[in-house]
Every structure is written in C-alpha cells, then in structure tokens.
C-alpha cells in the first residue's frame, strides 16, 4: 500500500510540475518584461541591460518581449524606489541600480531608507573586479604618490551622480584613508556627462570600471590608471594600477575599506520586487543564469568590454545578510563620508 501511495504521489508531483510549467508559459506568453535602469543611456548599466534584454526573454517560458526603461535620478534611488514600492510584483519587472547604494543602505539606513533584504535578488552580472581611478590629460595624476602629494589648493576634482555612486565612495575613501586632496562635485546625470566634463577639462579624472574608459583614451595615453580596488588582477589591467590593499598600513583601515567596497562584490545587480511570486522569481533567476552563458550575450559583453563574473540571486541574498554583521565602530567611521 505504501508503494502505491509513493507512486501516486510521484505521479501527482509530475502532473503538478507540468501544470506549473504550463501556467508559467501561459503567463509570460504575449507579455512584456521591463528592465528598469537607474542611470542615463550610454553608461555601463544601460549597455548591459540592453544586451540582456535581447536574450533573457528567450530563456523565460513563453518568450516574452523585453524592454529597457531608463529611470535616472538621485543616484539610482528613483529607480530603486520604483522597483521596491511601485512596480508590478508579478514577475514582469526587474531592474538595476548603482551598487554604492548597497553599502550606504547599511551604513546610513536612516538616510537611504532602502532595505536590500526587501528586494528579490535575481542575480549579479559581474562582481566588480575592474574598478580603478585615473587621471586625464598630459598633466593628469599618474600615481597614488602624485595624488597624495598634490597641493591641497589644487585638489583632484571628480564628478558623481550622488553619494550612492561607487565613484563617490572610491574618491572619498582615498581622501579619508590616505588624506588625498580629492574634491567631488555632485549632481551629474550619469557617466556619459562626466566623461564629457573630463574631456573639457572641468574634471581631473574619475573612478570607475576599467571597461568604461573610452578605448581611445587608453590608446592615446590620455587616461592614466593609478589604483585599483580589487585584489584580483583581471585581464587588461594596467601595471600602473596598484592594489589599494597593498598601500594600507593599519588593519582598521583595511576593515573600513572592506565595508565600503562590499558593494563591489555585487557590482551589476538585478533585482525584482520582493512580493514577486516565488515561482516567478525562480524563473527570472534561472533565465538570468542561462543568459550569463548565452553565446550571444557573452559576445555582446566582449564587444563593449564588459566582464561577466556572475553571482546568483541566492548567493547575493546571502552576501547581503553577511554585510549586516559589521562592527559598530566601523559603521560609525563609514557614516562620516555620507555626511
């Protein structure tokens, strides 16, 4: 009798799985899935999302249409707020935002009011091993020593979208840990506008992904990369990009930077509303994972020089939990750069 019940249960499970698959297929067929991008067109997040939009739908049942919607503002907080509170939570919306918000939400939750645990983590395209700082032009900064020794009356001027941006955190950490004369101008809409300001001489350089530097800047020796923020040296990283960890003298500073750069491990995040049904979140995660190895997507990422070092949605959730277990004294120190 027990064997009969086991066979019957197994048969019913197969039927339920098939029915669930049919329902998922019926749900997505003819639908449009939106990818919300918390930055302006032309930047890394926009390029990655537009490439993803051409492939992720092929890995969802029913093969829905996928569109990209740019929603810049408040250093991605506009997009994040939309995803968290306004967007449909039915599996048809996912989005990406500047990862600096992740650290900031833990350091200053009263200011950001964004809980990373209140999101459905779909996956991360790339743990960010490519972040660097660079000077621009024939008289641009070429080394950390030059930066530290620069006259405070002539600070190294950067631009940023806001305190949630990774380049803001990079620049402020150089100022706080190494006493480097760095001045950061707020309010740029996105990376494209900052690059134009750099070319016009209004900014001295920037911090960002190595692949985001225009190729002709590197080829013409206009951009001088002088520091990197990940210990792992990826292909194409210039020898001049010294690892910031090798310059740190105090263990306290090391733990402090580990907190500030924790968001880099979730460098290109994609999330859905928290109330997305678990079955559909699972479908989005599976489609995302399959997209990361889709030959077409991989080829497009190579074309725009964007690396793929994926993190699954489940892994990202676990990393968020770990980030919250930070010593109070390190949190207190980190709060200073956001004020």
Q: 3-state DSSP: the chain helix, strand, coil percent, rounded to 5?
A: 50, 15, 35
Q: Helices 251-260 & 100-107, crossing angle to 10 degrees?
A: 110
Domain boundary among 211, 236, 262: 262
Contacts of 337 (CB under 8 A, 6+ apart): 163, 169, 172, 173, 176, 260
Q: Residue 11 pLDDT more than 50?
A: no
Question: Residue 241's domain is classified under what CATH number?
Answer: 3.40.190.10
Domain boundary among 235, 262, 289: 262
pLDDT for the residue numbered 307? 84
pLDDT for the residue numbered 42? 85
pLDDT for the residue numbered 262? 79
Contacts of 197 (CB under 8 A, 6+ apart): 159, 188, 203
Examine the domain organization and report whether 233 and 184 are in the same domain.
Answer: yes
pLDDT for the residue numbered 295? 97
pLDDT for the residue numbered 96? 95
Q: Residue 136 pLDDT more than 70?
A: yes
Q: Residue 49 pLDDT more than 80?
A: yes
Question: Residue 275's domain is classified under what CATH number?
Answer: 3.40.190.150
Q: What is the spatial distance between Cα 269 and Cα 100, in angstroms, rounded to a whole number?
A: 11
pLDDT for the residue numbered 261? 85
Per residue, what are the HEC states of 53-101? Answer: HCCHHHHCCCCCEEEEEECCCHHHHHHHHHHHHHCCCCCCEEEECCCHH
Q: Residue 17 pLDDT more than 60?
A: no
3-class DSSP assignment, residue 315: helix
pLDDT for the residue numbered 23? 58
Say what the pTM is.
Answer: 0.70
Q: Residue 166 pLDDT more than 90?
A: no
Contact in structure between 313 and 288 (CB atoms under 8 Å): yes
Q: Residue 43 pLDDT more than 90?
A: no
- Span 286-302, mean pLDDT? 97
pLDDT digits (tens, 9 = 90+) for 258-284: 888 877 788 899 999 999 999 999 999
pLDDT for the residue numbered 25? 59
Inside any domain, residue 3 = no
Q: What is the spatial distance between Cα 67 and Cα 32, in angstroms, rounded to a whole number?
A: 7
Q: Domain range spanning residue 58? A: 25-127+263-338
pLDDT for the residue numbered 339? 67
Give me the percent of the chain exceeding a pLDDT of 70: 92
pLDDT for the residue numbered 2? 35
- Span 174-193, mean pLDDT? 93
Residue 114 or residue 242, greater confidence: 242
Give me the percent of the chain exceeding a pLDDT of 90: 58
Examine the domain organization and report whether 152 and 250 are in the same domain.
Answer: yes
Q: What is the spatial distance between Cα 276 and Cα 331, in angstroms, rounded to a whole number?
A: 32
pLDDT band at 15 (very low <50, low <70, confident <90, very high): very low
Residue 239: C-alpha distances to residues 137, 143, 235, 242 (Å): 19, 11, 11, 7
Examine the domain organization and report whether 169 and 254 are in the same domain.
Answer: yes
Q: Which two three-digit tokens encode residue 218?
A: 């590197």
Domain count, the chain: 2
Q: Which two three-digit tokens encode residue 182?
A: 């760095």
pLDDT band at 255 (very low <50, low <70, confident <90, very high): confident
């Amino acid at each position: 009798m027990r064997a009969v019940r086991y066979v019957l249960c197994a048969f019913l499970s197969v039927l339920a799985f098939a029915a669930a698959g049919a329902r998922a297929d019926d749900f997505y067929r003819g639908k449009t899935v939106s990818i919300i991008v918390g930055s302006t067109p032309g930047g890394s997040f926009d390029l990655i999302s537009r490439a993803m939009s051409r492939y992720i739908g092929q890995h969802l049942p029913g093969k829905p249409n996928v569109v990209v919607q740019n929603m810049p503002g408040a250093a991605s907080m506009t997009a994040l707020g939309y995803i968290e509170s306004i967007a449909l939570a039915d599996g048809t919306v996912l989005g990406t935002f500047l990862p600096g918000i992740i650290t900031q939400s833990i350091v200053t939750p009263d200011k950001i009011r964004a809980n990373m645990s209140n999101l459905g983590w779909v996956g991360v395209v790339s743990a960010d091993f490519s972040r660097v700082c660079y000077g621009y032009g024939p008289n641009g900064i070429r080394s950390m020593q030059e930066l530290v020794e620069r006259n405070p009356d002539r600070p190294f001027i950067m631009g940023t979208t806001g305190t949630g941006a990774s380049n803001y955190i990079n620049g402020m950490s150089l100022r706080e840990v190494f006493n480097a004369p760095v001045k950061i101008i707020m309010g740029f809409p996105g990376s494209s506008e900052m690059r134009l300001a750099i070319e016009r001489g209004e900014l001295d350089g920037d911090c960002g992904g190595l692949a985001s530097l225009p190729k002709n800047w590197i080829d013409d020796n206009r951009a001088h990369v002088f520091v990197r923020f990940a210990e792992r040296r990826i292909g194409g990283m210039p020898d001049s990009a010294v690892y910031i960890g090798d310059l740190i003298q105090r263990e306290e500073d090391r733990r402090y930077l580990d907190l500030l750069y924790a968001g880099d491990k979730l460098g290109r995040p994609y999330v859905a509303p928290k109330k997305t049904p678990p079955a559909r979140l699972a479908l989005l995660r599976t489609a995302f994972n399959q997209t990361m190895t889709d030959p077409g997507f991989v080829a497009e990422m190579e074309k725009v020089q964007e690396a793929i070092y994926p993190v699954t949605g489940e892994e990202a959730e676990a990393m968020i939990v770990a980030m919250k277990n930070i010593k109070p004294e390190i949190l207190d120190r980190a709060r200073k750069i956001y004020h």
